[in-house]
Amino acid sequence: MQKRTLGKSGLEVSALGLGCMGLSYGYGPATEKDQAIHLIRTAYENGVTFFDTAEAYGPNLNEELLGEALEPFRDKVVIATKFGFVEGKPAMGMDSRPERIREVTEAALKRLRTDVIDLLYQHRVDPNVPMEEVAGAVKDLIAQGKVKHFGMSEAGVQSIRQAHAVQPVAALQSEYSLFWREPEKEILPTLEELGIGFVPFSPLGKGFLTGAINASTTFDKTDFRNVVPRFDVENRKANQTLVDVLSRIAAQKGVTNAQIALAWLLAQKPWIVPIPGTTKLHRLEENVGAAAVELTAGDLAEIESAVSGIEVQGARYPAQLASRVGR
Q: Do the beta carbons of residue 74 and residue 116 sit within 8 Å?
A: no
Residues assigned a catalytic role:
57
CA distance 203 to 263: 10
CA distances from 304 to 264, 301, 310 (A): 10, 5, 10
Q: What is the helix (H) or strand (E) element at residue 235, kind and residue range?
A: helix 233-253
CA distance 203 to 224: 16
Q: How many other CB atoms are found less than 10 A from the CB of residue 14?
A: 23
**CA atoms lying within 13 Å on the CB side of residue 69:** 30
Kindly give the interhelix angle for 281-289 and 257-268, rounded to the nearest 10 degrees. 40
Annotate 96-142 with DSSP letters as a single string. Answer: --HHHHHHHHHHHHHHTT-S-EEEEEESS--TTS-HHHHHHHHHHHH
Exposure string for 122-146, b = 16+ CB within 10 A, e = fewer:
bbbbbeebebeebbbbbbebbeeeb
Q: Do the beta carbons of residue 243 and residue 211 sit within 8 Å?
A: yes
CA distance 283 to 56: 24
